[in-house]
A and B are shown apart, each in its own frame.
Chain A
Amino acid sequence: MSCHESSKLVPDYFDEALSLQQRKAMEAHLQDCADCQEALAEAKSINGQLRQWRDEPVPQWQRVPKQLQGSGGSARPRFSFWGQWAPLAGAFVMAVAVLFNVQIQVQDNGFSIAFGGAAGIDAGVIAAQLEEFENEQRAAQQQTLQVLSAQLEERQAGNNARLLETVIEQFGDSTTRSLEQVMAYFESQRQQDLQLLQTSYQRLADSDVQTIRSMQQLANYVQYQGN
């Protein structure tokens, strides 16, 4: 077998994709070439022997994968493409945030992101905000006090006027009876004033508590950002 065409001709013979023209050329060469005829005959023989293979029976094995065993299994992916990648993307973002020490601050005019260390906090701005807040609270307290004082003075003035009128009207009937009525009237007025004062002080106290809470929240916020 010395024909150099054999190495090409033999595989070509087994190539179903060979064109009609190529096959005719191959057959023409085969008619005149004993080497290639012999090579092809041997190849056919080997091919025939290999094809003597008889399929072996499949041994017992687990055909159904664990994922499909039982009810409810499905070979369809449980999540869509993005659903499959979302956890990985989330983990990546978290990893970047940890690695680069990313800090996000929410501010009045939006938010800022800082990398690699504590975000810069403008202490002067915070102190100014605190002072402004304190002044606002003080002003509110002063205003409330003034309103309450004005109400109290107005009430006292009205009461005094009514007291004088009542005393003058009742004085002629019976001195003893009039004195008892005057005393009872004074007592009722005193009780009303006392209640008014208590209510006013309670409102003042509530306002102070609110102020303290606001100050505490602000202080906590500043401390959190500082950390």
Chain B
Amino acid sequence: MSFTDQDEALISAALDGSARAWERLVKRYETRVYNFSLRLTGNQTDALDLMQEVFLGVYRNLHRFRGDAQFSTWLFRIAHNKAVDMSRRKYMVTSLSSVAGQEQSDDDVLDHIANDNGAHDPQRVLSTTQSNAEIIGCLDILNWEQRLVVELKVFQSHTFDEIAEMQDISANTAKTRFYTALKLLKAHMEQSHELS
């Protein structure tokens, strides 16, 4: 039985009310989703929250999965949407806590979100390995949109056309964001090496 066939069998059983099948299905993808969440949020607490939202979304929409695409593709579309939802919620919280009347551009807000996740706090990245902590520190300099493009391109290996469709932007915009993110990451890494 292929990986996809196993997915379909577990999905069918889960739809019929099998908690065991659902648990097995979750276990097959939870590591990928958790690490996706960890790279985006930069801390374990938010990563767990995001992962729970993703799987709850998957569970609620499982009956809509038609098998047109791979289950993993469908699942990570939900994960992407939940990540965007979370970024918007953080934006709202950030806006409410910001100085009244102070206008912020989208980039400012996204930068604020990216810098507000506490990834630099050693206490919040204790569970990560040293290399993972460095990567989180690098990604932390990117705004949310740039981080999503890097996540989808580097870690999820999506094409730019797929990223464009998921984010409702053009493929050229996705490429520009990716290139800008790489330049920012390069500058940050050079700076880190000079300091060390």
A53 x B63 contact (CB < 8 A): no
Q: B63-85: contact bitstring with A at CB < 8 Å (1 yes, 0 no)?
A: 10000000000000000000000
Question: Which residues from B are CB-within-8-Å of A59?
Answer: 34, 44, 48, 127
| A117 sits at the interface (CB 8 A) | no
A63 x B131 contact (CB < 8 A): no
| A75 sits at the interface (CB 8 A) | yes
Output the least CB separation between A45 and chain B (Å).
8
Given A7-B179, A58-B31, 6 new contacts (CB under 8 A): A17-B161, A47-B154, A50-B150, A52-B135, A54-B129, A63-B30
A58 x B30 contact (CB < 8 A): yes
| A65 sits at the interface (CB 8 A) | yes
For A16, give its contact among B35, B132, B159 (CB under 8 Å).
B159
A75 x B59 contact (CB < 8 A): yes
For B135, give its contact among A7, A17, A50, A67 (CB under 8 Å).
A50
B160 x A17 contact (CB < 8 A): yes
- Bound-state CA distance A56–B31 (Å) is 7
Question: Which residues from B are CB-within-8-Å of A63?
Answer: 22-23, 26-27, 30, 55
B35 x A55 contact (CB < 8 A): yes
26 A-B pairs, CB-CB below 8 angstroms? A6-B179, A17-B160, A17-B161, A42-B182, A46-B185, A49-B135, A50-B150, A50-B185, A52-B131, A53-B39, A53-B131, A54-B131, A56-B38, A56-B128, A58-B30, A58-B34, A62-B52, A63-B22, A63-B26, A67-B59, A68-B14, A73-B17, A74-B15, A75-B22, A75-B59, A75-B63
